[in-house]
Amino acid sequence: MIAAAATGFFTGFSLILAIGAQNAFVLRQGLIGQHVFWLALFCAGSDAALIAAGVAGFGALTAALPALPLVMSLGGAAFLVVYGVSRLIAAWRGGHRLEAAGGGRALWPTLGIAAAFTWLNPHVYLDTLGLIGAVSTGFADPGPKLAFGGGAVGASFVFFFGLAYGARLLAPVMRSPRAWRGLDALIGVTMLAIAAKLIRGVL
């Protein structure tokens, strides 16, 4: 059981460790200290739901709906382009400070953006429904399989809460408007690069 849980934890952690659109958004919100708990809970909870579905055997969803990857890729790419361009514009205009950045979006719009980053990203489904679901088939007995799924879910909670709250360690650096412009530029370029990768993957 412990080995199965450890396998699930390290499998899940390795899949979400790479910097992506969702992680960059959580990092930024963590830096400004805005809706940190609810954002981390939403992202981790979304991962938990998808992981549970993958371990339960619903990884065949994309096989049953062959058009789903195309629809998700195009929708996700469009959203990433819009958000990425908005961050590049913010970087160009400048004027950000850590103290002033907290007066941004309300909770529900923030969670709406997080939902788009999460549920419009086809790689999320490939990682959770596909890869984690496939690895879970190596545990035939219900107990170890449940432990594997629990470990993967635990990795999501550790990662997102660690990223959201740990971002505040960078607060002294981010008091500089130049640092904010650099962060927004980096996030914008990252979003556009991911969008381009999604589009290339379906063309």
Q: Tell which residue, 18, 27, 8, has the closest CA to residue 123.
A: 18
For the chain, the average pLDDT equals 81
Portion of the chain with pLDDT greater than 90, in percent: 24
0.85 surpassed by pTM: no
Q: Tell which residue, 70, 47, 2, 19, has the closest CA to residue 154.
A: 47
Residue whose structure tokens are 């609810």: 38
Is residue 171 over pLDDT 90? no
- DSSP labels for 139-156? --SHHHHHHHHHHHHHHH
What is the per-residue pLDDT across 72-121, written as a single tens digit (0 to 9) for each? 677 778 878 888 898 898 888 875 554 444 456 789 999 999 999 889 88
For residue 57, report the phi and psi dihedrals to the nearest 5 degrees: 105, 20
Q: What is the b/e burial string over 103-114, where b = at least 16 CB atoms within 10 angstroms of the residue's CB?
A: eeeeeeebbebb
How confident is the model at residue 12, as a pLDDT?
85
The CA distance from 191 to 112, in Å, is: 17
What is the per-residue pLDDT across 48-84, written as a single tens digit (0 to 9) for each? 999 998 888 755 565 676 776 677 677 778 878 888 8
